[in-house]
Structure 1
């Protein structure tokens, strides 16, 4: 469920008409619903009710500070994968003991930054990282809390570019080597080994891969405890998918996921952490764009819009599907028209949809890309010297620009020309 609905034939974000925002900030732009963000966070938090747990929002999905503060005030922790994300979380007041640091390539500088500012734990991905973390902690006279990310070799049955739990993926320690690596970590005086981390991928639409992975984690927990390790926290990652279309089969609910966690791991008495990102932010955002031209081709018609692949790269990168709808609702029974929906960037890959059936729209009209709140604005760029587009947050009948569109001068003046030129 989201809070983007038609009222009197016009798409609204909560109580704000989308055309009102477009008139204020121009197109294209992203718009997020506070009500949807909070609803999805609470669905996850409530799903783990009765367990000792923390929902850490995966900031890589959408990291605008207004979104982070909205979720932090509701009680969310944060999952970060860079020093920059760590500083963003701290900037909105998230304490270090509610921040988890993930990622395969943490630098010594990033590790030091988090140890100085406070950290709930590092999710360690390799022995070399563990050695750097130990040395850095010892040089600072502190002990670093860690979990070790285990790669369970489970096929998440998702897109190859967002699968993370198979043996050929770059993430984590192979499960066959877990005992050896935990023994190595336990011998390092700068580390406090507190638990196990696992994350098998993103946009999962079936609970079976989760169940298989968590069964392996349960067995591993008991094995490691038997060898003297104090396993008291299980970080289960994120990955639960969202419905990108209105008519496809809905992924499992957070309540079903929570029941699975309790069934497979509840007997261990561990604190549970989860790191959802897409499910919290994905359906909480739209990208809104204006039609520039409707172009007739030899064997197809093109809907050319002012949004481009630099603004929303998921279709070009992942072949991702987004439902694209007119902002002004079509008349009931309006004939559907087949379009290739494309942007103005000089790449054939700047294509959002091929042969998409939708109601007819004309130049100057607005279209909205649904489910664009996750991995949209955060992955955008200034390719073709196109300024980053605004982000807008709605709360009931109010809206605020939470990232403005830079001017062309601001964008160009970031370059520095050497003296010899």
Structure 2
């Protein structure tokens, strides 16, 4: 028996179109699961942030990990954005999409010598350095290339971002960055580095942040350290304030920070700084610009609850399984129906393959088309082929048009790199 819905539950409105594209027609033509991204929604977010930063010497470096599809990166390049990368693969994607190397910054705790060398060969703007060992590695690789690498130390300000523990990056117990005390020692010894120009600061305290105070606290600590360094004779050419701006995943619940308010915190904290500012938004630019279209396979009536089984699964969208993340799920059809309560699940053989528990929706039937909203970031970019499920297709929508920007993976493509154990060798 279908459980009765909670009377206080907020049921989001249906979504029959997206960027003036009929989603029923789109799904009928291309199949499901299907990621669809609105080009206009992305452009709007870019414009909001650019207007908020007007008058500042600042570069927006899109966090490629949020959504690394080439067509999305080309939108960023067309708007004049740079890229924040964390691997050689992301470097290649950014360059191939038209983002110039001088607008690329390289973050991440595990840069290999090969990746450092590739970034130096490309001529990227700057490395955000996460450890002393990494600093020495950049010095070594740059010396072999006879070049000087630009570097910023990533400060761990020990600030609670008030977000999920798995996407918090600015606490002392997190793996990212170094303490101000350690960074102070790096600058004191910076003249010993012949092939690294250490003249920047970087901070990034986490993702999906919905309050200004963590940003204010972190940036004030960085600003205090910047002033201390300048007073001690260390030039600071750039300050990277990271990303982390949250988005609305749950209607009526999440209240994102306005770009202008965030920019106001940056302006206040770094008043008097005359160097270059860098920002690294990812989720903020693309999350709400994406939906995952999926069809209902069946309704399974359990003894205590009803399960709404979709053709999308945790391999397509991992966030609910990884973080217990909420995504609004809405019917595409505006047809009025009575409400019902479901556990919304996928077909993967894991109990964790659950998109929502006790979610109130219009009563569903097999074949119904649903849209899982807010999936433009950390959706397709984190997808896998677990349970031998091919990767979903992705499309870009723009004023009533669509373009396939990644075709649906075939079973043959999924196993193309596998082979029988025939050519045996010894190391």
TM-score of the superposed pair, with normalisation by structure 1? 0.96
Give the one of 327, 335, 358 matched to 1:355.
358
1:183 CA displacement: 2.1
For the residues of structure 2 that align with 1:223 and 1:176, how far apart are their CA atoms? 12
Residue 145 of structure 1 corresponds to 150
User: Matched residue of 2:269: which SS?
Assistant: helix
1:225 CA displacement: 0.9
For the residues of structure 2 that align with 1:396 and 1:24, how far apart are their CA atoms? 18
Q: 1:53 to 1:299 in 2, by over 3 A?
A: same
- Residue 257 in structure 1 maps to residue 254 in structure 2: no
Residue 291 of structure 1 corresponds to 296
Residue 406 of structure 1 corresponds to 409
List gaps (5 residues or longer) in structure 1. none
After superposition, where does 1:221-240 map in structure 2 within 5 Å? Answer: 221-240=226-245
1:335 CA displacement: 2.4
1:194 CA displacement: 2.3
User: Matched residue of 1:173: which SS?
Assistant: coil
Decide whether the 8 Å contact of 2:15 with 2:371 is kept in 1.
no
Deviations 1:20-49 (A, max 9, x none): 211121100100000011111111111111
- Residue 370 in structure 1 maps to residue 368 in structure 2: no
Give the one of 57, 61, 76 matched to 1:71.
76
1:420 CA displacement: 6.8
Residue 131 of structure 1 corresponds to 136
After superposition, where does 1:97-176 map in structure 2 within 5 Å? Answer: 97-176=102-181
User: Matched residue of 1:155: which SS?
Assistant: coil
For the residues of structure 2 that align with 1:395 and 1:291, how far apart are their CA atoms? 27
TM-score of the superposed pair, with normalisation by structure 2? 0.95
Stretches (4+) displaced over 4 A: none
List gaps (5 residues or longer) in structure 2. 1-11
Q: 1:10 to 1:267 in 2, by over 3 A?
A: closer
Give the one of 409, 415, 419 matched to 2:418.
415
Corresponding residue pairs, total: 413
1:229 CA displacement: 1.1
Decide whether the 8 Å contact of 2:301 with 2:307 is kept in 1.
yes
Residue 392 of structure 2 corresponds to 389
Taking only aligned residues, the RMSD between alpha carbons, in angstroms, comes to: 1.4
Decide whether the 8 Å contact of 2:247 with 2:254 is kept in 1.
no
Residue 200 of structure 2 corresponds to 195
Deviations 1:323-348 (A, max 9, x none): 000010242xx421000000000011
- Residue 311 in structure 1 maps to residue 329 in structure 2: no
Residue 12 of structure 1 corresponds to 17
1:270 CA displacement: 2.4
Give the one of 325, 341, 345 matched to 1:338.
341
Pick 1 or 2: higher relative contact order, CA cutoff 8 A, min separation 6.
2
